């Protein structure tokens, strides 16, 4: 069984595709899709470690930025170079790539929650939104044979850029930016509010597309 067709219509898609094609034509043959997948996952681990180690010094956040860059390089190129060289293994690639993506994103969120800039509960709220939208994506791929990787113009690359900007904000603004919420007698940083807001947005996108898809399938009698 072939892997679902990928639909990627994010804002940076055209620029990113030209860049990936340029890289695919120049990477040596020993750089394999599996190696690139490993590089992408290693980048995510580095990013998570950078967040956790920022408890000791904010300069560790630059390790996170390097990790995000490596994650983009490996995660964006592994499938691209397989298609460029016509050596795709659709089922294997689909399974390994998305399994490691889920683990990598879980590690990233845990790293954020372990940092001094974000609470674990608010970080997990962001993870919950990501998992909901992922569930919708994989269910839709099963039903329609199409995997949508972008929603409302945003995709994995845009999310990485936003998280990198947030990481720079953590470095420059520090931890002394807590906001009190008297009702819950809790304090939240702007980064906590960002995590909850992003998780809520992803959850709302999940609900919107679930209702839309459900109505479509009901009308089709499928």
Does residue 3 contact residue 93 with C-beta atoms inside 8 Å?
Answer: yes
Question: Measured between alpha carbons, how far is 108 from 43 in angstroms, rounded to an integer?
Answer: 10
**In this structure, what token pair is assigned to residue 84?**
């460029």
At 51, the pLDDT band (50, 70, 90 cuts) reads: very high
If DSSP codes are grouped into helix, strand and coil, which group holds residue 185? Answer: coil
pLDDT value at 39 more than 90: yes
Amino acid 219: pLDDT = 85
Amino acid 7: pLDDT = 63
Question: Measured between alpha carbons, how far is 152 from 208 in angstroms, rounded to an integer?
Answer: 12
pLDDT value at 126 more than 80: yes
Q: Per-residue pLDDT averaged across 19-48, rounded?
A: 94
pLDDT value at 67 more than 90: yes
Residue-wise over 32-49: b if at least 16 C-beta within 10 A, else e?
ebeebbebbbebbbbbbb
CA atoms within 13 A of residue 135's CA, in its CB half-sphere: 12
Does residue 167 contact residue 64 with C-beta atoms inside 8 Å?
Answer: yes
User: Phi then psi for 188, rounded to 5 degrees?
Assistant: -130, 140
Interior CA angle at 174 toward 177 and 64, to 5°? 130
CATH code for the domain in which residue 179 is found: 1.20.120.1760
At 70, the pLDDT band (50, 70, 90 cuts) reads: very high
Q: Which residue has the higher pLDDT, 4 or 159?
A: 159
Q: What is the pTM of this model?
A: 0.87
According to DSSP, residue 147 is labeled E
Can you tell me which residue has the tokens 């980064």? 191
User: Phi then psi for 135, rounded to 5 degrees?
Assistant: -60, -45
Owning domain of residue 45: 5-220
Amino acid 57: pLDDT = 95
If DSSP codes are grouped into helix, strand and coil, which group holds residue 186? Answer: strand
Q: Which residue has the higher pLDDT, 153 or 130?
A: 130
pLDDT value at 111 more than 90: yes
Report pLDDT digits (tens) over 160-172.
999 999 999 999 9
Question: Do the strands 5-7 and 146-148 form a parallel or antiparallel pair, or are they unpaired?
Answer: parallel
Across all residues in the chain, what is the average pLDDT? 87
How many domains does the chain fold into? 1
């Amino acid at each position: 069984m072939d892997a679902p067709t990928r639909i990627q219509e994010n804002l940076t898609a055209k620029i990113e595709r030209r860049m990936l094609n340029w890289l695919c034509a120049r990477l040596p043959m020993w750089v394999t899709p599996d190696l690139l997948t490993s590089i992408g996952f290693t980048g995510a681990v580095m990013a998570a470690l950078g967040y956790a180690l920022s408890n000791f010094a904010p300069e560790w956040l630059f390790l996170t930025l390097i990790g995000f860059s490596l994650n983009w390089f490996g995660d964006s190129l592994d499938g691209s170079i397989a298609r460029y060289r016509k050596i795709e293994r659709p089922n294997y690639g689909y399974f390994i790539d998305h399994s490691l993506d889920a683990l990598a994103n879980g590690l990233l969120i845990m790293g954020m929650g372990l940092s001094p800039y974000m609470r674990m509960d608010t970080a997990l709220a962001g993870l919950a939104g990501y998992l909901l939208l992922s569930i919708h994506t994989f269910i839709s791929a099963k039903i329609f044979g199409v995997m949508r990787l972008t929603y409302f113009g945003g995709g994995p690359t845009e999310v990485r850029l936003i998280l990198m900007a947030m990481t720079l904000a953590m470095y420059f603004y520090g931890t002394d930016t807590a906001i009190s919420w008297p009702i819950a007698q809790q304090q939240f940083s702007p980064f906590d509010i960002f995590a909850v807001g992003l998780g809520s947005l992803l959850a709302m996108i999940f609900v919107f597309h679930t209702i839309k898809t459900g109505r479509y399938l009901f009308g089709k009698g499928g």
